[in-house]
Chain A
Amino acid sequence: MSRHSPFHERTAALCTSYRWKEWAGYHAVCSYDTSVEREYFAFRHAAGLLDASPLIKYDVRGPDAAAYLSRLSVRRIDKLAVGRVVYCCWVDDRGHVIDDGTIARLDEDAYRVTTGEPELWWLEQNRRGYDVSVEETTHRYGVLALQGPSSGAILSAVTGTDLTGLRYFGLTSARLADRDVLVSRTGYTGDLGYEVWVEAEHALPVWDTLMTEGRAYGIVPAGLDALDVTRIEAGYLLLGIDYKSAPRCLIDAQKSSPYEIGLGWMVQLDREPFIGQAALRAEKERGSEWALVGLDVSWTALEALYERHGLPPSLATHAWRTAAPLYDGKRQIGQATSGTWSPTLKRNLALATVRRGYDRVGTRIEIETTVEYRRHTIPATVVDRPFFDPERRRS
């Protein structure tokens, strides 16, 4: 029953692996080739082009839009300038995270919100008392994420505009393939990158122009598997994997606060009332139970483990997301929720949720792993996130 993205004609023709998955009700390519490497290295060394149209989008308009979004978000939105984008999360009354995404200020009274799950009900429910309208516009736009070191050059070439001046988390309008597009300097790869927003009916010419003009810069269509590797390298969270959306949890233990998932830095407590303010203030005072950390899983230990079974070390080339328990001795102290072998860093990385006290950089813990169906633990070290953070990302 899934929909086709506005770029489907092109992506389907290129997807020789037939590897697809469902993303927010759309068919989305996992990887165009059977291996993820070509697409991954395009993101890191040239430019990868990812169809991000399924990204859920809401347009919020009206004189109270700024106040409304500020009330909804853990950080102030009313100070956001036109032409800027901000990464943000939303919490419920108890300070549990509902979703995370971006808010772009398109105009004085117009914002575009992107979310990981459909949140129309939440947005609507909190409109009472505010003069705003909320409209889902997911299906109206095609979105392309052009990410990688040569992305700026490609976009500048195809739009005839120098986009290198567009600041990180900036937004501008441009012409591409004779169509009006919006370009934002945002992305999910932790690298230099842009997202191009175009009305659905103009989607194909935009794709074609980018692919044709981008060839000289090494553009490669890329799928979600490559994206997953890059987002873990960048230390970005994935809703539903690294944390769960509070209204979709059955029990409280499954819920998380922004502080617990490493988004505490964005919480702005001292301002007009916002949803979850009291709960977050209380949590900040007493400290959080859990923390999200980056883990560097010992490669030598893994190698030794395989060696014991008479095997060479083998790791999947794509990211994993089956949670693995973490231990301090016999005591379970958390779980790694997703991880990957980083082809760039040559390190075995994971994102993990650990109990308070285990989140300091340098802390050594153990992670469970299986080799030949046998359970083992190997050492892992808490390290700084992002794991990979090139200068070009923000400069």
Chain B
Amino acid sequence: MSEKVIVIGGGHNGLTAAATLARHGRSVVLLEKRSGLGGLAAPFEIADGYRVPGLLHDTDRFRPAVARALELHQHGLQWRETPRTELGLSAKGRGVLLSSNREAMAQELQQHSPSDVQPYHRLMTFLDSIRHIVEDLFDSPPPAPAKRELGEAIKMLKKGWAFRRLGAETMIEVLRIAPMCIADWLNEHFESAHLKALLASPALLGTWMGPWSAGSTTTWLLDELTRGRAVAGGPAALVDSLRRCAEAAGVEIRTGCPVRHLQLENGRVRGVELESGETIETASVLATTDAQTTFLELIRPADLGVEFAERIANVRSRGLVAKVHLALSGPLENTTRPGSFERMRTGEHVDDLERAFDAVKYRQISERPILDVWVPSLEDSSLAPKGHHVVSILAQFAPYDLEGGWTDAARVTLGDRVVDTLAEYAPGLKKRIVARQVLSPADLEGELGLTGGHLYHGEHALDQLAFLRPVFDCAHYRTPIEGLIVGGSSCHPGGGLTGVPGWLAAKAL
């Protein structure tokens, strides 16, 4: 019995954790509340015959280190060879064709804004020089700066030494830019307003910040420097290979199996009680639910320290991204540039992003939301009937605590604003809409159990990263409750389809 581990949550982190544990010889039971696996990477039905492959699409962030450790290629995982086609939409100009291929990007910039080519190369060189540091931070447990242990001190010194080895100039530059806002930092490099807006927006996903918010450079660096190739077949393929890997290692997967609470005795885990009333005895639980769900809902208040509970309650987790899904009777065409693009983004000026963000501070939906538009049916035509398409939009910003609450009318308003904004670049859009689905942060909370509807299980912010994520006393995956390990996006290195928190948590166990 002591060998058995219960993993709560069947998202990418839960699957990664379960597979990792099972491959280390543990007997693992994975409990997923919903009927299907995948969490944010699980397919979502829009209407009969139309579905999106996941609420998040960005498989570029799944870490090769995790894939290697789990030998996912033996379970069907393949990296995409051809880069994704991605367009920055523009009302008047030709937009910016974004590419992860530097030569292609430089060529595009040569057309779009020649004076930005050199700065672009310089920026890439700088990023290359610090990439190994960030990747190392990302792929290993966070440092513990307040711990007074020799081992920890040596680890810190090693990291510190690697950091100093960058040379004084680079090191100080990193220290200087980390607390900066992304807008200021990009202004130091580039001229094209549109380019800056497109570069800036990834800094905001998973935060509660606008591009003028200090610290957004750090979230930008974390996103940018940990990106690699996407998974062929998208999130569905990723989840599939993780599931196969887990099953091959002997994980018992139980879906449709919500947990009511953890049973504790003298501060130790004793078992898990399911909503069905069934009790599973175990001494080890690895929870990949968000920190607030794990500690404030799955654990009875009496079993938790007061200060710890307060710290958890203080974790900022204010969802502000909505999902809008469209089923289209034809392709999504745009006026910016001919062709089909797998991903398109709006926002032509950093101030557009900032204005969109301003609204949530006053609990309003942005008048002109910033859209991150994915057309997954271009890669996987099975998502929609032949010739039809599905469009999956991350719409920023829509506050969880909307003034007046998330009524049906509010959802319609949000849906309309999103469609109207997109239609400015795609005039034929409205006529092709077969079905529309709007998921507000409140819906995401209800559907997926995400506290505050926050996609990243807690905002990325300088004080909620690394050894402070989610709070200092469970940032290293172990918690004040003996036998309970946390390993969801609430933990270092945070949200997104990376697999890392689950992997590191399993290793900590």
Direct interface between A and B, CB < 8 A: yes
Residues of chain A having any CB pair with chain B under 8 Å = 67, 71, 92-93, 125-126, 128-130, 272-275, 278
A93 touching B305 in the complex, CB below 8 Å, given contacts A125-B310, A278-B267: yes
Q: Across the interface, do B303 and A125 meet the contact criterion of CB distance under 8 Å?
A: no
Query: Majority SS of interface residues in chain A?
Result: loop
Q: Which residues does B use to contact A, with CB under 8 Å?
A: 264, 266-267, 296, 300-303, 305-310, 313
Alpha-carbon distance between A92 and B309 when the two chains are bound, in angstroms = 12
| Cα–Cα, bound, A124→B264 (Å) | 24
Number of A-B contacts (CB under 8 A): 31
Q: Chain A residues with Cβ under 8 A from B306's Cβ?
A: 92-93, 125-126, 275
Q: Find chain B residues with CB under 8 A from A71 CB.
A: 301-302
Instruction: Determine whether the beta carbon of A273 is less than 8 Å from that of B302.
Output: yes
Q: Measured between C-beta atoms, what is the minimum distance from A65 to chain B in Å? A: 14
Q: Is the CB of A93 within 8 A of B308?
A: yes
Q: How far is the CB of A292 from chain B (nearest CB, A)?
A: 25
For A273, list chain B residues within 8 Å (CB).
Answer: 264, 267, 302-303
In the complex, the chain B residue whose C-beta lies closest to that of A67 is: B302
Across the interface, B301 reaches (CB within 8 A) one of A92, A93, A128, namely A128
In whole Å, how far is B290's beta carbon from the nearest beta carbon of chain A?
Answer: 17
**Can you give 6 A-B contacts (C-beta < 8 A)?**
A126-B301, A126-B306, A128-B301, A130-B301, A275-B305, A278-B266
Q: Could you say which residues of chain A place their CB within 8 Å of the CB of B296? A: 128
In whole angstroms, how far apart are the Cα atoms of A67 and B305 in the complex? 16
Residue of A with least CB distance to B265: A273
Q: Are A129 and B310 neighbours in the complex by a CB distance under 8 Å?
A: no
Q: Which residues of A contact B267 (CB under 8 A)?
A: 273, 278
Closest-by-CB residue of B relative to A130 is: B301
A274 and B267 CA atoms in complex are apart in Å by 11
A144 to B270, CA, bound (A): 50
Q: Closest 3 interchain pairs by CB?
A: A129-B301, A93-B305, A273-B302
Q: For residue B396, give the distance in angstroms from its CB to the closest CB of chain A.
A: 31
Residues of B within 8 A of A272 (CB): 302
Distance in angstroms between the alpha carbons of A354 and B111 in the assembled complex: 81
Which of A125, A126, A129, A278 has the largest number of chain B CB atoms within 10 A? A129
16 new A-B contacts at CB < 8 Å, known A71-B302, A129-B302, A273-B267: A67-B302, A71-B301, A92-B306, A93-B305, A93-B306, A93-B307, A93-B308, A125-B306, A125-B310, A126-B301, A126-B306, A128-B296, A128-B309, A129-B301, A273-B303, A278-B267
Smallest beta-carbon distance A134→chain B, Å: 15
CA distance A93 to B307 in the complex (A): 7
A126 to B310, CA, bound (A): 9
Query: CB < 8 Å: which of B300, B302, B303, B307 contacts A92?
Result: B307
Please, how many angstroms separate the alpha-carbon atoms of A92 and B313 in the complex? 17
A14 to chain B, nearest CB (A): 44
Contact of B300 among A125, A129, A275, A278 (CB under 8 A): A129
Q: How far is the CB of A203 from the nearest CB of chain B, in Å?
A: 37
Q: Looking across the interface, which residue of chain A has its beta carbon closest to that of B299? A: A129
Chain A residue numbers with a CB within 8 Å of B313 are: 128
